């Protein structure tokens, strides 16, 4: 079906790429994108990197391709609810957007500091959008002195790297035993920890912040071990919450972990049946992944938003049977502390990791992760050239440890990766 009206809830990366794929595949009908941010789609990865360092202005992150879409944009307008019987988005300003088919692309938001009164103290920030980055950059000017970062995940570490490159004193606190431990495990995370400390980050691992204290503006953090850290600026980087609140009461299988979908990106009813006219893509979507035993997986990767939106668009136009299950190998990148980190596959649940090329001592290596004797993921650090060779083995679930033997390839010596215990699927 290539006519009628398609509405897209959300107006960022997955929304734009979905809209582009709809048009590229011949959709000639009405296309309406509704976004709560006042901006046309822009890129988020630079927000924690080049925007904070001042290398590029926030406005320079706008994504190209908007003009060619022949789309209607309702920006600065949150979607507040869904009228499934009437097939309409209910807007916070009282308006309605009727649709024949709907693409849900509302992404995720930064998980806030759990104590609202403390989160409201001046100088406390989260980082998800362009306006957050601009506010943080302005506060960096206004509040000189040490910065405290809560959370050593990708965004926390990238912000730490950007701020150290500006010469700011930075403390990073995380209850995990290593930075990036959730995604990469303790072995690779331990290497990153060394780089962070060498760059002057005061890294406090295995400890939590219990409270943020201050009078109107934040002044210090009180730690779970009784210690305190003085800081007039705090960046809360505690992960993301999927934007599904507006779907409450719509009868779909949605919660803060995402909107459940089938392999064709069709949203699922609470009882698991697919809804023919509602699709989802990007950070908000939780789709079964054939490479991981059909387990529902919600990713927060730029590449996933792009590929999944294109997949959903094809399924919307040609029907779910015209296209196989979404099976893109998950991929992301990060740059921090002079390291270019790239990843393929999912490390979650891996029981072993082996350095198969290069070495941490050389500052350049490739780590392969295995689960029950099968290759499930690979991570390169300053060695992106070596990574693509592992896409096939991950896709095929090739035996782990991989067979190597090149001149610069050490004999794989698998060790436990130090990942958190897998959560029940």
Q: Which residues bind ligand FAD (CB under 6 A)?
A: 9-15, 34-37, 44-45, 47-48, 78-79, 105-108, 127-128, 155, 243, 246, 282-284, 300-303, 305, 332-334
Q: In this structure, are strands 96-98 and 266-268 parallel, antiparallel, or unpaired?
A: unpaired
For the chain, helix, strand, coil in percent to 5 are 25, 35, 40
Q: Which is nearer to ligand FAD, 297 or 352 (CB)?
A: 297
Tokens representing 260 are: 């459940």
Residue 316 C-beta: closest distance to ligand FAD, Å: 16
Take residue 63 and report the two structure tokens written for it.
């994504």
Q: Name the nearest CA neighbour of 263 among 203, 214, 327.
A: 327
375-to-81, 148, 344, 347, 370 alpha-carbon distances in Å: 42, 37, 11, 10, 4
CB 368, min distance to ligand FAD, A:
20
End-to-end CA distance of the chain: 35
For 62, which DSSP code? B
Cα–Cα distance for residue pair 139/160, rounded to 1 Å: 15
* Nearest Cα to Cα of residue 337 among 146, 150, 154, 162: 162
Minimum CB separation of residue 179 from ligand FAD in Å reads 15
Nearest residue (CB) to ligand FAD, 284 versus 387: 284
In the complex, the smallest distance separating the C-beta of residue 207 from ligand FAD, rounded to whole angstroms, is: 24
Q: CB-wise, 285 or 354, nearer to ligand FAD? A: 285
> By C-beta, is 74 or 400 nearer to ligand FAD?
74
Q: How far is the CB of 44 from ligand FAD (least distance, A)?
A: 3
* Minimum CB distance to ligand FAD smaller for 161 or for 171: 161
Closer CB to ligand FAD, 300 or 328, in the complex = 300
Instruction: Report how far residue 313's alpha carbon sits from residue 24's, in angstroms, rounded to the nearest whole number.
Output: 10
Nearest distance, CB of residue 411 and ligand FAD, angstroms: 32
Residue-wise burial string across 45-65, b where 16 or more C-beta atoms lie within 10 A, e elsewhere: bbbbbbbbeeeeebeebeeee
């Amino acid at each position: 079906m290539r006519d009628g009206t398609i509405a897209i809830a959300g107006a960022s990366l997955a929304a734009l790429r979905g809209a582009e794929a709809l048009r590229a595949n011949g959709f000639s009908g009405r296309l309406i994108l509704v976004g709560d941010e006042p901006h046309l789609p822009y890129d988020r990865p630079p927000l924690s990197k080049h925007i904070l360092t001042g290398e590029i202005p926030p406005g320079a992150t706008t994504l190209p391709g908007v003009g060619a879409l022949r789309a209607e944009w309702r920006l600065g307008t949150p979607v507040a609810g869904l009228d499934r019987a009437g097939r309409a988005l209910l807007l916070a300003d009282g308006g309605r957007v009727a649709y024949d088919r709907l693409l849900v692309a509302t992404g995720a938001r930064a998980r806030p500091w759990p104590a609202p009164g403390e989160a409201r103290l001046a100088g406390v920030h989260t980082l998800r959008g362009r306006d957050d980055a601009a506010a943080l950059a302005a506060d960096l000017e206004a509040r000189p002195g040490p910065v405290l970062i809560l959370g050593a995940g990708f965004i926390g570490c990238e912000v730490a790297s950007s701020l150290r490159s500006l010469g700011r004193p930075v403390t990073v606190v995380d209850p995990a035993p290593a930075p990036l431990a959730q995604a990469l495990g303790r072995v690779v995370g331990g290497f990153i920890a060394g780089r962070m400390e060498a760059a002057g980050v005061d890294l406090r691992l295995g400890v939590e912040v219990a409270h943020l204290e201050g009078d109107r503006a934040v002044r210090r953090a009180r730690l779970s071990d009784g210690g305190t850290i003085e800081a007039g600026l705090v960046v809360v980087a505690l992960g993301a919450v999927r934007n599904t609140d507006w779907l409450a009461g719509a009868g779909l299988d949605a919660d803060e972990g995402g909107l459940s979908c089938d392999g064709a990106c069709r949203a699922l009813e609470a009882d698991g049946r697919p809804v023919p006219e509602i699709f989802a893509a990007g950070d908000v979507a939780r789709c079964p992944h054939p490479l991981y035993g059909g387990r529902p997986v919600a990713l927060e990767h730029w590449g996933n938003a792009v590929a999944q939106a294109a997949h959903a668009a094809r399924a919307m136009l040609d029907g779910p049977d015209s296209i196989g299950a979404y099976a893109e190998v998950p991929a992301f990148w990060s740059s921090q502390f002079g390291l270019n980190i790239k990843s393929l596959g999912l490390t979650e649940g891996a029981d072993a990791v082996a350095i198969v090329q290069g070495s941490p001592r050389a500052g350049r290596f490739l780590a392969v992760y295995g689960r029950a004797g099968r290759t499930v993921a690979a991570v390169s650090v300053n060695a992106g050239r070596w990574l693509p060779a592992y896409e096939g083995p991950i896709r095929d679930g090739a035996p782990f440890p991989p067979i190597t033997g090149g001149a610069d390839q050490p004999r794989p010596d698998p060790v436990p990766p130090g990942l958190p215990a897998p959560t029940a699927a």
